[in-house]
Chains A and B, each alone.
Chain A
Amino acid sequence: MTLTIDKVALVLGMILMLIGLWGGFTRTNLLKIILSFSIFDTGLNILIVALGYLPGRTAPIIDGNVVTAENLAVKAIDPVPQALVLTAIVIGFGVTALMLAYALKMNQHRKSLDINHYTDLKW
C-alpha cells in the first residue's frame, strides 16, 4: 500500500475519531466529554474531505489559469464532500454550543461538572 496524501489524511481523521471516542467514554468532566465530541467531529470531517481527493488535481474553483470552465471535469477534485463538510461543521458548531449551554446550566444547579454527580438517569 503506497502512502499518498489522502491515505495520510484518512489515517489522521481515524486517529482523531478514536481519540474522541476514547475521551467520551473515559472522561468524567462534562467539558472534557464535550471536547471529545468536538475532536471526534473534526476527525470525521477530515475523513470525509479526504474521500474527495483525486491525485494530481486541485480545488474545484475556476481561477482562469490552472482550472478553467472547460477543464473543470478533469482538473478539479470532487466538490460534493467539501459541500457536505461545510454543512457538518456548522451543525457541529450548533450542537457543541447547545451542549456547552446545558453543561453551564447543570453547573449552576449542582455546582459540579462531574458526570458521576448526576445519577438521575442511572439505573
Chain B
Amino acid sequence: MKNSIAILLVLAFGFFLVHILQLYHTQETLNKTATYYNTNTPAEVGAANVVTAIVVTYRGLDTLGEVTVLFLTAMILGYILRQGGKEKVTKNNTSEILITAANVLIPGSIVLGVYVFINGHLTPGGGFQGGAIIGTAITLMILANPMRTIREGLLHMVESISGFFYVLIGLAGLLFAGGFLDNRILPLGTLGDLFSAGAIPLIYSLIGLKVGTEISSIIANINETGNNTVKL
C-alpha cells in the first residue's frame, strides 16, 4: 500500500521528466544573457574564466549570500551538536596505512587547494572548489587520527577575518568603482595573468579560506559528538 503510493508519485514525476525531454532540442546559438556574458567579460571584468566572472562579479551579491548560508550551516551545526554538553570521546585507532598515506597526502592537498583558489579566474576552479579540497585534507587528518583536537578558535578566527574582508572589499567597490563587489577597485591588468581581473583573485582567495575553514569546522564538530553507534 505504502509502496504503491511511492510508485505512483515516482511514475508521475517520471512522466513529467519525459515530457520535458520530448520538448527539449539542442540549442545552436547562445541565448541573450549568455551572449552578453561571453561578449563583455574580457573587457568589463578581465577574467579568463567566464564562470568565475559571473559568480564573483556579475552575481557577486548572490555569492555573498551563498557564503552566508554556508556560515549559518556551520554555526547551526555547532550549536545543535554542542547541546547537552561535550562528552569525552574515545575512538579506535586507525590503520597504519591510513596514517602514513594521510601524512603524505595532506600537505599536497592543502597546496593544491590554495593553487585552485588563487587561479580561480584563469583555470577551472575557484574559491569553493579550492576550499572543498582544503576541507578534504582536514577530513583526512581527522580520519587518520580521530582523537586529534582541531583548534576551532583558530578556524573561527580565519573564517571571521576572511568574511569581514570580503564584505570590506565589496564596500570598497561601492566607494571607488561602479558598485557593491565591483572588481575594478584594482587595475584589470593583462587578460590571463595571475595578477589580473582586479579584485577577483583576492575575493576568491578569501572565499576559499572561508569555505575551507567552514567545511573543516563542520567535520570537526560531527567528529567530536560522542560515540555514535549507528544501526543500519
Residues on A facing B (Cβ under 8 Å):
4, 6-7, 10-11, 14, 17-18, 21-22, 25-26, 29, 31, 52-55, 59-64, 69, 72-73, 76, 78-80, 82-83, 86-87, 89-91, 93-95, 97-98, 100-102, 104-105, 107-108, 111-113
Q: In this assembly, does B13 line the interface, its C-beta being within 8 Å of a C-beta of chain A?
A: yes
Q: In this assembly, does B3 line the interface, its C-beta being within 8 Å of a C-beta of chain A?
A: yes
Q: In this assembly, does B160 line the interface, its C-beta being within 8 Å of a C-beta of chain A?
A: no
| B48 contacts A61, C-beta separation under 8 Å | yes
- If A60-B49, A62-B50, A78-B31 are given as contacts, then 11 extra A-B residue pairs at C-beta distance below 8 Å, sorted by A number, are A7-B24, A17-B13, A25-B10, A52-B34, A60-B37, A62-B191, A62-B192, A94-B73, A101-B77, A101-B222, A105-B80
**A-B CB contact pairs (8 Å), 10 listed:** A4-B26, A78-B27, A80-B33, A80-B54, A82-B51, A86-B51, A97-B222, A101-B76, A102-B80, A104-B228
Q: How many A-B residue pairs have CB under 8 A?
A: 152
Contacts of B222 in A (CB 8 A): 97, 100-101, 104
| A18 contacts B228, C-beta separation under 8 Å | no
Query: Which of A21, A53, A87 counts the most chain B CB atoms within 10 A?
Result: A87
- Chain B residue with the shortest CB-CB distance to A57: B30
A26: which of B3, B54, B66 is its contact (CB, 8 Å)? B3
Q: In this assembly, does B81 line the interface, its C-beta being within 8 Å of a C-beta of chain A?
A: yes
Q: In this assembly, does B14 line the interface, its C-beta being within 8 Å of a C-beta of chain A?
A: yes
- Chain B residue with the shortest CB-CB distance to A28: B2
Contacts of A73 in B (CB 8 A): 30, 35, 38-39
Which of B55-63, B136-144, B146-154 touches A?
A: B55-63
| B231 contacts A113, C-beta separation under 8 Å | yes
- Residues of chain B from 1 to 15 with CB closer than 8 A to chain A in the complex: 2-3, 5-6, 9-10, 13-14
Query: Which of B3, B51, B84 counts the most chain A CB atoms within 10 A?
Result: B51
A72: which of B33, B41, B51, B59 is its contact (CB, 8 Å)? B41
Query: Which of B26, B29, B218, B228 counts the most chain A CB atoms within 10 A?
Result: B26
Q: Which DSSP category, helix, strand, loop or mixed, fits chain A's interface? A: helix
Contacts of A17 in B (CB 8 A): 13, 17
A82 to B53: give the CA distance in the assembly, Å: 12
| A21 contacts B10, C-beta separation under 8 Å | yes
| A72 contacts B50, C-beta separation under 8 Å | yes
- Chain B residue with the shortest CB-CB distance to A70: B42
| A79 contacts B54, C-beta separation under 8 Å | yes
- Chain B residue with the shortest CB-CB distance to A97: B218
| A78 contacts B30, C-beta separation under 8 Å | yes
- A-contact bits for B183-227, CB 8 A (1 contact / 0 none): 000000001100000000000000000010001001001100110
| A94 contacts B28, C-beta separation under 8 Å | no
A18: which of B10, B31, B55, B226 is its contact (CB, 8 Å)? B10
A62 to B54: give the CA distance in the assembly, Å: 14
- Residues of chain B from 76 to 123 with CB closer than 8 A to chain A in the complex: 76-77, 80-81, 83-84, 122-123
Query: Which of A4, A60, A113 counts the most chain B CB atoms within 10 A?
Result: A60
Contacts of A80 in B (CB 8 A): 33-34, 37, 54
Q: Given that A26-B3, A98-B73 are known contacts, is A62 also in contact with B48, CB under 8 Å in the complex?
A: yes
